[in-house]
A and B are shown apart, each in its own frame.
Chain A
Amino acid sequence: MFDTTGFWRDIILSVGILFIIYTLLKIFVFKRFKNKDRAKEVGLNIALVLGIMYLFLRIYILIDFNLPDVIPAGNFMLSNILNQTLQVSVLALATTGIVLIFKTSTTTNFAQGIIATFGAFVAAKLIQNFTLNYTEMSVTTAVVLSMIAAAITAFIIGIFVDSVIIRNSKDKTPVGKQMITMGLVLVLSGAMPLIFGKILLPIPKLSYAPNIQFTFLGANLSITVHAFYALIITVVLLTILFTALRFTKWGLGVRATASNELVASMMGVNTKIITAMSWAIAGFLGAVAAVLLTPNATNVSVGLMTPTQVNAFMAAILGSFSSFLGPLVATVLIPVLTGLLSLVVPLWQNAVVYLIILAIVLVKPMGLFGKKVAKKV
Chain B
Amino acid sequence: MICKNEVCNDRKAKIHQITHHPYFGFFIITFLMLMVQLLRVIGVPISITLLRAFGITMIYIIVALGFSILLGYAGLASLGTAGFVGIGTYLLGYFTKNFGLSIFLVIVISILGAIVIGGIVGFISLRIEGMYLAIITLGLSEILNEVFKNAVSITNGTNGLGLNGILVIFKNPVVVNHNTIFIATAIIMFFMMVLTLNIIKSPTGRAFLAMRNSTSAAQAMGISILKYRLLAFVVSTVYAMLAGVIYMSYISFSIPTTWSLAFSLNILAAVIVGGSQSIYGIVLGTFMIFGLNLGVLQQFSFFQNNPAISVVFNGLLIILVIMFYPGGLIRLVNTTYHKLKKIVLKLMTKWRVYRYGSDN
Contact = CB atoms under 8 A, between A and B. Distances in A.
Interface string A187-198: 111111110000
A107 B131 contact: yes
B324 A170 contact: yes
A165 B323 contact: yes
B269 A183 contact: yes
Interface in B255-270: 261, 265, 268-269
A350 B323 contact: no
B134 interface: yes
Contacts of A317: 132, 135-136, 139
Interface in A314-335: 314, 316-317, 321
Q: Which of A102, A174, A361 has the most CB of B within 10 A?
A: A361
Q: How large is the interface on A (under 10, 10 to 19, 20 to 34, 35 or more residues)?
A: 35 or more
B10 interface: no
A180 B311 contact: no
Contacts of B269: 179, 182-183
A108 B131 contact: yes
Given A350-B142, A365-B127, A180 B308 contact: no
A376 to B, nearest CB: 10
Contact of B132 (A169, A178, A365): A365
A190 B309 contact: yes
Contacts of A355: 143
A347 B272 CA distance: 36
Interface stretch (B62-70, B202-210, B313-321): B313-321
Contacts of B292: none
Contacts of B312: 186-187, 190-191, 194
Interface in A256-285: none
Contact of A183 (B131, B143, B319): B319
Given A171-B322, A310-B142, A354-B139, A348 B261 contact: no
A262 B317 CA distance: 30
Given A351-B150, A354-B143, A175 B311 contact: no
A182 B263 CA distance: 12
A170 B323 CA distance: 5
A291 interface: no
Nearest to B214: A377
A361 B314 contact: no
A265 B156 CA distance: 56
A357 B318 CA distance: 32
Interface in A100-146: 102, 107-108, 110
Contacts of B308: 190-194
Contacts of B139: 310, 313-314, 317, 354, 357-358
Interface string B234-257: 000000000000000000000000
B326 A171 contact: yes
A107 B322 CA distance: 15
Contacts, number: 134
Interface of A is mostly: helix
A60 to B, nearest CB: 24
Contact of A189 (B128, B306, B311, B313): B311
Contact of B322 (A174, A179, A190, A377): A179
Contact of A170 (B128, B134, B216, B326): B326
A168 interface: yes
Given A182-B268, A357-B139, A351 B147 contact: yes
A362 interface: yes
B319 A187 contact: yes
B166 interface: no
A362 to B, nearest CB: 6
Interface in A264-312: 306, 310
Given A171-B322, A351-B146, A187 B315 contact: yes
Interface string A138-174: 0000000000000000000000000001001111001
A362 B127 contact: yes
Contacts of A354: 139-140, 142-143, 146
Contacts of A186: 311-312, 314-315, 318
Contacts of A171: 322-323, 326
B138 interface: yes
B265 A110 contact: yes
B323 A168 contact: yes
Interface string B143-156: 10011011000000
A317 B214 CA distance: 24
B128 A361 contact: yes
Contacts of B142: 310, 350-351, 354
B130 A174 contact: yes
B265 to A, nearest CB: 5
Contacts of A170: 322-326
A175 B272 contact: yes
Contact of B326 (A176, A190, A362): A176
Contact of B135 (A189, A191, A314): A314
Contacts of B132: 317, 321, 361, 365
A185 interface: yes
B137 to A, nearest CB: 10
Interface of B: 77, 124, 127-128, 130-132, 134-136, 138-140, 142-143, 146-147, 149-150, 214, 216, 261, 265, 268-269, 272, 306, 308-319, 322-326
22 contacts: A110-B265, A165-B319, A168-B323, A170-B322, A182-B268, A183-B314, A183-B316, A183-B319, A186-B314, A187-B315, A187-B316, A190-B308, A190-B311, A194-B308, A310-B139, A310-B142, A314-B139, A347-B150, A351-B143, A351-B146, A354-B140, A361-B132
Given A183-B317, A355-B143, 19 more contacts: A108-B135, A168-B323, A170-B322, A175-B272, A178-B131, A179-B269, A180-B318, A186-B312, A189-B315, A190-B314, A194-B312, A313-B135, A313-B138, A316-B135, A350-B143, A354-B146, A362-B124, A362-B127, A365-B127
